[in-house]
Amino acid sequence: MLVRLLLLPTIFLTVALLGGLRVSGATGAFQFVAPPLVTLLLAVMLMLLFVRGGLIDLSRWLSSEQPALVNIAHALTLIALFFASAQAFNSVLPERGLFRWLFGFFFLWTLWNNQFANFDARRLLRSLTVLFGTAFVLKHLLLANLYAADSGWLHQLAGAIFEGVTQGTLGAQESIAPATGYISFFTLALYVAGLILLPSAPEAISPREISNTAAIIDADHQLSPGERVALRDTLTTEERNAHAILEDE
């Protein structure tokens, strides 16, 4: 329960923060880039893919059989996952120019085709790892060297090839420090780790179990310390979880 209600939101909120973080190559200052509209569209498509691929069983995450506080906590976790997904795309999108549109089209085309493919949770995770890994290599290794001030003949050759097609946008990229690549790598690794820890169907805690546990807890106060310890050892995992919820309330 701690993983689902505490660790996962922390991971996804951290990804949402770091996904838009850049380090200026000129001044070394931190810059925060807001997620463009296309990343929000990509996040919506990815969330639909999570549900379709079985990575998220929405009926188990949000259920009328669960207490309201549990549903609220689950909803906040899913919202954090949505914004983390948008920022994960933001971290591997070029800042502007033709390559930004090419990357956006690449993501849109891939996610759209995946909507009609047969996926299970494991295949979906592997596919996303390859997708983000490829985009990371293209942006932070290939394009970063292309736009570097000391890239020399590589920059000139690319400029000659794309001249008249990009209308000057090829050289309009902002200079970012190599530290941005390290931040992006950590962000994507943390995002994939969060997806691995994300349970498809959280353990449900019904109101009846909470009511039964409440009765046990009331009787527990009338026992001696030794009898109280022995009784708590007999509780099931679900009853212990319900006990924790009651104590929080």
Q: What confidence tens digit (pLDDT) does each residue in 170-181 have?
A: 444 556 788 888
The encoded tokens of residue 34 equal: 């807001």
Question: Within a domain: residue 241?
Answer: yes
Q: Among 63-77, 79-93, 153-167, 170-184, name the one with the lowest average pLDDT.
A: 153-167
Q: Which residues of 191-208 are buried (b: 16+ CB within 10 A; e: fewer)?
A: bbebbeebeeebeebeee
Is there a single domain that holds both residue 80 and residue 122? yes
Asked if 51 and 123 sit in the same domain, the reply is yes
Q: Is the pLDDT reported for residue 96 higher than 90? A: no
Report the candidate in 51, 35, 164 with the shortest Cα–Cα distance to residue 87: 35
Q: What is the tally of structural domains in the chain? A: 2
Mean pLDDT of the chain: 77
Is 202 within a domain?
no
218, pLDDT greater than 80? no
Helix 37-52 to helix 98-114 angle (10° resolution) is 20
Say whether both 13 and 126 belong to one domain: yes
Distance CA 109, CA 103 (A): 10
Q: How far apart are CA 15 and CA 81, in angstroms?
A: 9
Percent residues over pLDDT 90 in the chain:
33
Residues 191 and 234 in one domain: no
Nearest-5° Cα angle at 136, 133 to 137: 90
Tell whether 42 and 151 lie within a shared domain.
yes
Task: Give the SS3 label for residue 120.
Answer: coil
Of 127, 122, 121, 126, the closest CA to residue 107 belongs to 127
Same domain flag for 229 and 169: no
**Tokens in use for 208?**
């009846």
237 domain-assigned: yes
- Amino acid (1-letter code) at residue 128: L
> Could you tell me if 112 and 148 lie in one domain?
yes
Q: How far is CA 82 from CA 140, 152, 160, 173, in A?
A: 24, 40, 40, 28
Which domain does 234 fall in, by range?
207-248
Q: Per-residue pLDDT tens for 23-57?
A: 887 788 888 988 899 999 999 999 999 998 888 98
Asked if residue 133 has pLDDT above 90, the reply is yes
